[in-house]
A and B are shown apart, each in its own frame.
Chain A
Amino acid sequence: MNIDFSLITTEIALAILGLAIFTLGLIIPRSARKGLGNIALLGLIIVLGIAVYSWPNQGETLGGMYIVDHFSSFFKIVGLVAAILVVFGFRRYVAANVGNYLEYYSTIVFATLGMIVMISAGDFITLYLGLELMTISFIVLVAFRSFDVKSLEAGIKYLLLAGMSSAVLLYGLSLVYGATGTILFAEVAQSIIDGSGGLLLIIGLVMLIAGLGFKVSAAPFHMWSPDVYEGAPTSVTAFLATGSKAASFAILIRVFVGSLTGIQEHWVMLVAVLAALSMLIGNLIAIPQTNIKRMLAYSSVAQAGYIMVGIVAASQSGVKGVMFYSFIYVFATMGAFTVVAAVYNKIKSDEIADYAGLAQRAPLAATVLLVCMLSMAGIPLLAGFVGKFYLFMAIVDGYMWLVLLGLIMSMVSVYYYLRVVLVMFRDDPVDPTPLKMETSVTITLLIALGVTVFLGIYPGPLSEIANTAAQSFFTP
């Protein structure tokens, strides 16, 4: 079995980076560990450069177990961007609230590596490998505030529930293997066309959906996410909501749209129902929340529902919609969570009520939170609107009920987003002293703001790229 190393340079570089940070952390004195963040940042930017540079490379290696095409490269870039923003925007938050543990940044890098391997998976074993690398890294990260009971509780919950979902996923994989006799996606697709199937395959399919639905926090497999999102360090929450979710969507598409196409009639409706449920549950339960992280967790469930609409379409325009939305979702979510972390750093609270008068105390942070939330709600001239437009246009023939539900639920979401806005802009602060944001936070916020506004006004180029990538997915 020949290995084409040129196709996996990104992965190799990332693995080296993770090990290097870890080793370096052991060598250098404890006081110098603060600098590890900078090394991680620099390294990740270089890896991103490599990933962008190797965009033209396409092919398969390890006998089809590893697929590199524009589709996977796109999601790798999304994951790396998320990782960079997490490392950069939450520096002070991590230093102040997590501690300078040498494992933190290397674990972030390993989680990223897990995502990237999963995105490129061409068979079930690689998929599981990447998924577990990612999940185990996240279990560690979620529980990182070991002095905080909430963080520990979230860690335990995530450990047990993720383990459970992994077991289900693995069971599903074995059933699919049993039904088709192969673990390679391409051969599974062929075998289904050749007539294999039956109850075994369908049960396997359900378990696959459950296992991956858990990762993207789609209802009704979402129940872990509010607790974990709330308890985890905010930086980890942000990464969980963006990178982990985007990578899981990539592999969902790869497995369902790419491989299980033959039994589409069995899962399209199922995914549509799950999407509808996610929109409903996410948006409705977000309304009474008082903790902003919990609210964003439910909003993230709803967002998963919107993105799943693109899988329902199971077409090029649907896949393009998912890619576009994943990209912009990273920036909107990162922007929102960066504000949450920065505010927590100052006032030690995640309660929405404590955001009163934030517009006076930290105008930029309040503006970015406003814009990011409006983008998630899908207000025109912001990126989220364009993304939702692409997603819903892909299913407008045939799933009108889902489109209508999406529209109504978007309106509902405006309600709970604007509640936060109201508190920030209308209410007077208890303590009017301005909150001074660090430069790294300001830059991250400006990036999130700039991308969200720019792609809302001028989505053309990214939409073209996503379209090309989606095309490469269907005609390799």
Chain B
Amino acid sequence: MVEFALNHAWLVPLLPALAFVIIVFLTQRWKRLSSLVSITAMLGSFVIASIIAYGVFTNHEFIEKSLVYSLKWFGMEGFNINVGVMLDPTSSMMLFMVSLVASLIQIYSTGYMKGDPQYSLFFAYLSLFGASMLGLIISSNLLQLFVMWELVGLCSYLLIGFYTFKVSAREAAKKAFMTTRIGDFGMLLGILFLQIKFGTLDLVELAAAIPMFEQFGVSLGLLTLIALLFFMGPVAKSGQFPLHVWLPDAMEGPTPVSALIHAATMVVAGVYLIGRTLFLYVQVPGAMEVVAAIGAFTALFAAAIAITQREIKRILAYSTVSQLGYMMLALGVGSLSASMFHLWTHAFFKALMFLAAGSVLHALHNKADVWDMGGLIKKMPITGWTFVVGGLAIAGIPPFAGFWSKDEILVVTMEYAKHGHALGYVLFGMAAFTAFLTAFYMWRMIFLTFFGKEKAENHPHESPWSMTAPLIVLAVMASIGGLIGTPWANIWGEWINFGEVHHAEPALGLMLLSVILALAGIGLAYTLYCKDGEKKTARKLAENYQSLYQLSYNKFYIDEVYAWFTQKIVDGTARVTYYFDIYFVDGIVNGIAAVTRGSGKGLRYLQTGSMQTYALVFFLAILVITVVLAFGSPSLASIMGGVK
């Protein structure tokens, strides 16, 4: 059975793809049946993914050599594109995680989306997303991966704008699509460069070829350019500064979508992709530094925004951006292991918190401002306590999952600094301070939402079991999911790493530091937002530091800068080109169209319907051709060229 699963890994994305087709073409009319089809397919994928994970993680050969099989998609001389499957510990882990989270979120959605008129369509989109995401994970080829990459982008677009009646949702969907397109364009250029210079897009072949890049006539400068262009895709998709702007707006979509796509899976695709192509980045230290710096800056920047936000999902969104920054940072300092570990734990605790937030919104009829909540834990114990587990995990309290992975990132950043990278100390400082901020803003939200005084106007109630059961499963994973990667028994690092296996000594000092930072953050949040019932100090701080508060609350005005840029510069250029277009280009185009249509009409008169004419044309043509060929052929050939 394990053999079968390993050799048929393409079934994992295929099942949800079939579910999509079935729902769209057959079962759309029956809502419950549609959700059943979708969930069954995803659970099937989860089962196969689990068997694959079992097969991979019990066979040590996979650490050295990945299982690859492919078939030719299309090709011609010297240019072949394969589609295939590439299984190694990293991709098996991702398959397992994505199919598990997707299954749970689909089950959750049966409760959350109940009564929606487009219920079936929602599940169809979720299935399509699952298929593309799982397909992306197993891709063995960059072109195949790019196709899947665009497909997940499309699903994201469709799902953000799912509530088509909401203007803000439509706007957010467009923003997400266009922002990520900017990154995808750079990424496509990078891919084209790789194909042109190295003649292949196969990941295994590229991994073998790129270390010898000079033999392919590629200078280090060009390789750096390729790496940076390629990095643009992940920057946009994984919400890194400065292309992070779409991710908070994407929260306009239904909450299960935010949990699945914009927290646990799609947004980490960028991190995964850089991890997949780390063989490229290790060759170009300059690009690695860029990755690390952008990662660390994004982590800090987003955390600084999150501390003043008021909407529950927006806080979580900025937290996601911040955590993605951590993952990029880990990759930038060269640790695939730490990055993937954080990706793994983050998927669980962040999905958990989003779903719990969805449960809250469900109970309060979409009232989103945390200042309007309070004391919810009494009426919604399961939602509340699972959320607290998530909060402990993200803040980095041992033994919850987030502690181990965040600690690992701090350790590798410190080591990077000690190996002669002065930049490393700065990065470490940013990462450590972010850890403090994370604990603070996350617990600020928890205290405001679940503790303190109840608000009289709220009538919360616990959500149905279909929504709370996934919360409990995720809470379990968020509690113990990190135990496989503790410094004392680092099973994770043994399997998922890049290059030499690295055995770090448990850095107790760093551990202590991160626990202190977390506790300090939580303590500060407690003092400001829980102990003090009136929140006087908090308000006073906001007033005293009005400018800073406004800066953070308005997200450092990045959106406004972009708006100004597009309005003044892009629109200005557009206006100039517009006139050029309507008068010059359109003139030509319309002229051509008129000539084409006119000639069509004119030529039509040759077709008289009279057979004599037809016969005449027939023989005339023979006559002309004979004369030309018999007497003028060489000169005609020399005019038109091309005779071999």
Contact = CB atoms under 8 A, between A and B. Distances in A.
A129 B640 CA distance: 37
Contact of A214 (B73, B618, B626, B636): B618
B607 A223 contact: yes
A221 B621 contact: yes
A285 interface: yes
Contacts of A165: 618
Interface in B46-88: 71-76
A8 to B, nearest CB: 34
B596 A206 contact: no
A287 B597 contact: yes
A285 B640 contact: no
Q: Which of A285, A314, A317, A463 has the most CB atoms of chain B within a 10 A radius of its CB?
A: A285
B72 to A, nearest CB: 5
A286 B621 CA distance: 21
Contact of A164 (B71, B73, B607, B615): B615
Contact of A269 (B72, B76, B643): B643
A199 interface: yes
B508 interface: no
Given A161-B614, A221-B618, A272-B640, A288 B74 contact: no
Bin chain A's interface residue count: 35 or more
A226 B641 CA distance: 33
A398 B640 CA distance: 9
B630 interface: yes
Given A266-B633, A399-B642, A460-B74, A285 B622 contact: no
B475 to A, nearest CB: 42
Contacts of B622: 168, 206-207, 210
Contact of B76 (A202, A270, A281, A393): A393
Interface string A441-476: 000000000000000001110011000000000000
Contact of B597 (A269, A270, A288, A398): A288
Interface string B361-389: 00000000000000000000000000000
Interface string B593-607: 000110111011011
A55 interface: no
B117 interface: no
B135 to A, nearest CB: 13
A210 B609 contact: no
B596 A210 contact: no
A273 B628 CA distance: 12
Contacts of B76: 317, 390, 393
B643 A265 contact: yes
A287 B604 CA distance: 10
Given A160-B611, A168-B622, A227-B609, A459 B643 contact: no
Interface string A412-429: 100100000000000000
B596 A412 contact: yes
Nearest to B599: A284
A266 B614 contact: no
Contacts of B614: 157, 161, 223-224
Interface in A365-391: 386, 390
Contacts of B582: none
B629 interface: yes
Contacts of B629: 202, 205-206, 266, 270
B569 interface: no
Given A265-B637, A269-B636, A463-B74, A206 B625 contact: yes
B504 interface: no
A224 B607 CA distance: 9
Contacts, number: 109
Contact of A459 (B74, B604, B617, B637): B74
A268 B636 CA distance: 11
B588 to A, nearest CB: 13
Interface string A136-176: 00000000000000000000010011001100100000000
A226 B643 CA distance: 33
Interface string A106-144: 000000000000000000000000000000000000000
A264 interface: yes
Given A157-B611, A270-B625, A401-B640, A210 B600 contact: no
A120 to B, nearest CB: 28
A220 interface: yes
A220 B621 contact: yes
B613 interface: yes
B540 interface: no
B503 interface: no
A323 to B, nearest CB: 15
Interface in A208-236: 209-210, 214, 220-221, 223-224, 226-227
Contacts of B419: none
Given A206-B622, A206-B625, A226-B607, A287 B600 contact: yes
A142 to B, nearest CB: 14
A19 interface: no
Nearest to B77: A317
Q: Which of B71, B600, B606, B643 has the most CB atoms of chain A within a 10 A radius of its CB?
A: B600
Q: Which of B615, B621, B626, B637 has the most CB atoms of chain A within a 10 A radius of its CB?
A: B621
Contacts of B634: 265
A24 interface: no
A370 B626 CA distance: 41
A160 B618 CA distance: 13
A26 interface: no
Contacts of B630: 199, 202-203
A199 B74 CA distance: 45
A287 B235 CA distance: 47
Interface string A316-358: 0100000000000000000000000000000000000000000
A220 B641 contact: no
A460 B621 contact: no
A191 B76 CA distance: 35
Nearest to A157: B611
A453 to B, nearest CB: 12
A6 to B, nearest CB: 33
A206 B626 CA distance: 6
A460 B633 contact: no
Contacts of A285: 600, 603-604, 607
Interface in B319-363: none
Interface string A176-195: 00000000000000000000
B600 A398 contact: no
Contacts of A415: 596
Nearest to A214: B618
Contacts of B72: 460, 464
Given A157-B611, A270-B629, A398-B644, A460 B600 contact: no
Nearest to A393: B76
A269 to B, nearest CB: 5
Contacts of B640: 269, 272-273, 401
A284 B603 contact: yes
Nearest to A287: B600
Contacts of B599: 284
Q: Which of B611, B625, B641, B643 has the most CB atoms of chain A within a 10 A radius of its CB?
A: B625
15 contacts: A157-B611, A157-B614, A161-B611, A203-B630, A207-B622, A214-B618, A221-B618, A227-B609, A264-B643, A287-B596, A288-B600, A386-B74, A390-B76, A399-B642, A460-B72
Of all A-B residue pairs in the complex, the 8 with the closest CB atoms, nearest first, are A398-B642, A287-B600, A223-B614, A284-B600, A220-B621, A460-B72, A206-B626, A399-B642
Given A268-B642, A284-B600, A317-B76, 7 more contacts: A203-B630, A269-B640, A269-B642, A270-B629, A284-B596, A287-B596, A390-B76
Interface of A: 157, 160-161, 164-165, 168, 199, 202-203, 205-207, 209-210, 214, 220-221, 223-224, 226-227, 264-266, 268-270, 272-273, 281, 284-288, 314, 317, 386, 390, 393, 398-399, 401, 412, 415, 458-460, 463-464
Interface of B: 71-76, 596-597, 599-601, 603-604, 606-607, 609, 611, 613-615, 617-618, 621-622, 625-626, 629-630, 633-634, 636-637, 640-644
